[in-house]
Structures are given as structure tokens and as C-alpha cells.
Amino acid sequence: MQAVAPTSHVDALQRIRATLGPAGCIDAPEQTARFLTDFRGQYRGATPFVACPATTTEVAQVLALCNAARIAVVPQGGNTSYCGGATPSARGDQLVLSLHRLNRIREVDAANFSLIAEAGCVLMNVQAAARSVDRLFPLSLGSEGSCQIGGNLSTNAGGLAAVRYGVARDLVLGLEVVLADGRVIDGLSSLRKDNTGYDLRDLFVGAEGTLGIITAASLKLFPQPRTIETAFIAVPGMQAAIDLLARLREATGDCVTTFEYLPRIAVEFTIRHIPGVSDPLGVPHPAYVLCEVSTARHDPHLRGLLEDALGAAIDHGDAIEATFAESISQRQALWRLRESVPEAQRHEGASIKHDVAVPVAALPAFLRQASAAVAQVAPSARLVAYGHVGDGNLHFNLSEPAGGGDRAAFLALQQDLGHAVHACVQEFKRSISAEHGIGQLKRELLARHKDPVALAAMRSIKQALDPRGILNPGKVLPD
């Protein structure tokens, strides 16, 4: 990348327009609107225009110009994230850079169990590319039809199969990244082993666009599962669910791929609001687990192993009853029930969300303590605590009181509720953001909960990689 002479904002923006051409710039307000507010509608921003480069070279040219003119850049993928990380400030001086045109699968290597995808590839298309060579890309989220792999890596997304395959960070082999000044790190290695100095790749994963722009990623693939068993299991509560998880991991030879906890209220919300969802079991139960076990070989015994383990769990009081998916459509229906909980919760009015992680074994104690703490602050709020308990990650969410009570009064409690929940998290010394990141929503929380030495090291890294502070300012790091 050639050095770009310092330039004025107006001049730089004009040169970016000339570089990208009309197809690479979105101006019309009716078209820019969707780039300027976040998925939950919590933030609203403005931008001179939306820049849509189609190649890594174009991304590099845009950044070089922005860096020279000190124009802030807000990278955006599918815009499905929860903390306002992809929304520009309302001042109108930050350039939104959408990656959606950078959407080619560059390489699929079945023998190496890897593929290279550009950042703007929608997650579902990455999964399909892997499937086309009989491989699995296991990252799986409710938003997979619109989120992009660059966004998944930048938020280090978790999702529904992390208990088996890990989070986005665990699934990446190498990255191509454009730095703030427009230089490109060509790190698209597909190697499993490479101990040649600092691991720069890991810096950009989970950085939410504050250290560089991911333009492509080399990703790990796995054998396609040949045998899948999906069960919807009624459980008495969280402790039973955790005990059941250990039992099923042991009994199936660690084949548990998904282990999602749903309290009754979450199931009721989906039945009420999501067309086609019905109660998989005849009578209501306190809580449920959506559990999937799978193996990459044809295994006629897997179902029997699971049934035996569930039978023992029922005898022991860790499970009440269970139903199995007997067809692809039944499996899809169970997944739909789980994946549509966020949407169903939206239909129940305002919600206040906490995305926390504690050690798996501490989940029951955390749930007890945090439930009691929020009941003190907002006795009529409805607790919807669900999620990826196989990873110790609970979406400890609250819905406004039933019957359309005083929404404003409920939302006014947001800070107090946050303090109550995060004080419990602190007691277990764990994470205030398990999978949704920091964005602009949780910067102050980060300041309070992150180890100060770690925070100082993060600031040093930011200063070294983005000395002019043009990459997604106002996100992640507290002021």
C-alpha cells in the first residue's frame, strides 16, 4: 500500500467515492437507514455514505484515505449484533464500511478440512460451502441467515454448537486483515501449527472492528455428522440440567453437540408468538433442555445410549420426561423453538438483557442468587434465563411485567438490575459478556469488571495498531 498524503475530510470522501464507484457507495436515505440502527433498535447513527468495497484492495484504499484524513470507520457485517458495535455515532462524521460485497468463497479444501471465505459471506453460505464437499462448518446461530463470518469472528460468536466445537475463535486457522493505515496482513494460512512469534490472528478475533478489518478467513471444517439424535428433555431445574449434561457427556462418549436450557416461560413465549411452534411435551414442566448428540460415523447404538442415559437420569430425578425428533422436520421444529426465543421475547415487550458466563458447575448457584437479587429490584419483571448452559453461558434476560404495565418504569431500572446481576457475576469472578461483546453498550461495565492491567494492555495494543484512533472509536474500550 502506497503512502497517502494527508488530506481533508471532503477530499478523502470524494476520493473514496471515486475508488469504489457508484456500486460501492450507498447514499439514498431509504437505503442507508438499515445500516444506521442496530438490530435491537437501541442506537441510531449517521454517516456521510455507506462504503461498500468489493475487494481487499478496495478496503485497503478506503482505510489508507480515512487514516490520512482521520476519518473514523465503522465496519459492519450483517448488523445483527447486540451491543451497538456496528452503529456509527449520531454526529454523522463516521464512515460505515459494509463488508457485504466481499462475499466470495475463495477456496474449499476437503482434504485439508478447511475453507477460505471472505468476510462478507453470510454464515449460512459458509455452512453450505462446507456441506458441498461433505464437510461441516459447525458455527450455528439463530441469526445465521444474515450475520456474516467477518462479524462472527469480530464478535467471537458462540452459538448452539460451542459445547462441542468451541466458539468462533476455535474455528479459525488464519486471517487476512487490513490495518488502520491500509496495510494488509496476509495471514490466510490453513496450517494447524505455526509457532512463529506472536499470534496476531487472535488479536483481531473478538476485537469488534477496533484493531483492523477482517477481509477473509481460513476456517476449520469437520466431518459431517452421520448420526444425529435430538431430544427435548423436561428437567426439574438448573441443577438437574447440569447433572444431566455430565451424565450424557459420559454415556455418549462426549458426543453432546448442543445442550440448551429453556425455562418454561421461554417455551410459553415461543408457543404464543412464533407461528407453527407447539409444546413438544403434553404437560408443562419447570424447564427443558434441547440436547443434540451426534457422531461422524453411522452409529445405530447412539439412540440406545441416549435413551439408557435418560432413563437413568429420570430414575435419579435429573430428568422428568423426553421426546425425540423422529424426522428432519421434527428436528427442525425443536431447533426453531430454541432459536426463536429472542424473537418471541421481543413480542413480550421491552427486555433487559445480561449475557453472562460462570463455570458450568456454578450455574445453579448463580441462577439462585441472581434471581433473588433481581426480584428485590423489580419484583414483577419476568425472568427469562436461558441459553448455552453447556458452555456456562446464560442469557439472564428480563421481560417487562406482564399485562403491559409501566414500561418506562421497568426500563428505568435497567442500571439497577445490571448492578444486581453483575454483582453476582463478580462474586463468581466470571464474564459480564459471554458472547455478545462490548460494543458501545458495555464499555462502562468493562471499565468496572476488567482487570485494570489487562485493560491497560488492551489500550497499548489499540495505540500500536491504530495510533490515530480511526477504527470503530467509541466501542469496546472505555474513555
Choose from ligand 2HG, ligand FAD, none: what does 24 bind? Cβ within 5-8 Å by kind: none
Between 233 and 384, CB nearer to ligand 2HG:
384
Beta bridge partners of 196: none
**CB of 420 closer than 8 Å to CB of 373:** yes
Partner whose binding site includes residue 395, from ligand 2HG, ligand FAD, none (CB under 5 to 8 Å by kind): ligand 2HG
4: amino acid identity, one letter: V
Q: For 143-181, b where at least 16 C-beta lie within 10 A, e where not — what string?
A: bbeebbbbbbbbbbbbbbbbbbbebbeebbbbbbbbbbb
d(C-alpha 179, C-alpha 450), whole Å: 26
At its nearest, how many Å lie between ligand 2HG and the CB of residue 387?
Answer: 5
Q: 34-38 long-range contacts, Cβ below 8 Å, gap at least 24?
A: 34/79, 35/76, 35/79, 35/96, 35/98, 36/87, 36/88, 36/96, 37/87, 38/79, 38/81, 38/82, 38/84, 38/86, 38/87
Q: Which is nearer to ligand 2HG, 53 or 387 (CB)?
A: 387
* CB of residue 141 to ligand 2HG, shortest distance in Å: 7
Nearer Cβ to ligand FAD (100/285): 100
Report what 353 binds from ligand FAD, ligand 2HG, none; CB cut-off 5-8 Å by kind: ligand 2HG
- If you count them, how many residues does the chain have? 479
All residues at 6 or more sequence positions from 469 whose CB lies less than 8 Å from its CB, including other chains: 72, 462
From ligand FAD, ligand 2HG, none, interface partner of 213 (C-beta below 5 to 8 A by class) = ligand FAD
Say if residues 394 and 356 touch (Cβ distance below 8 Å): yes
Site for ligand FAD, rule CB under 6 A: 39, 74-82, 85-86, 99, 119, 141-143, 147-148, 150-152, 154-155, 157-159, 208-209, 213-214, 342, 435-436, 439, 472, 475
CB of 180 to ligand FAD, least distance (A): 11
Note the residues at the interface with ligand 2HG (CB under 6 A). 142, 341-342, 353, 387, 395, 397
Rank residues 156 and 252 by Cβ distance to ligand FAD and give the closer one. 156
Residue nearest to ligand 2HG (CB): 342
Instruction: In whole angstroms, give the CA distance from residue 238 to residue 243.
Output: 9
How far is 280 from 264, CA to CA, in rounded Å? 12
Q: Which residue is nearest to ligand FAD (CB)?
A: 151
In this structure, the strands spanning 94-98 and 50-51 are parallel
Which CB atom, from 230 or from 369, has the smaller least distance to ligand FAD?
Answer: 230
CB of 50 to ligand FAD, least distance (A): 12
Q: Which is nearer to ligand FAD, 79 or 369 (CB)?
A: 79
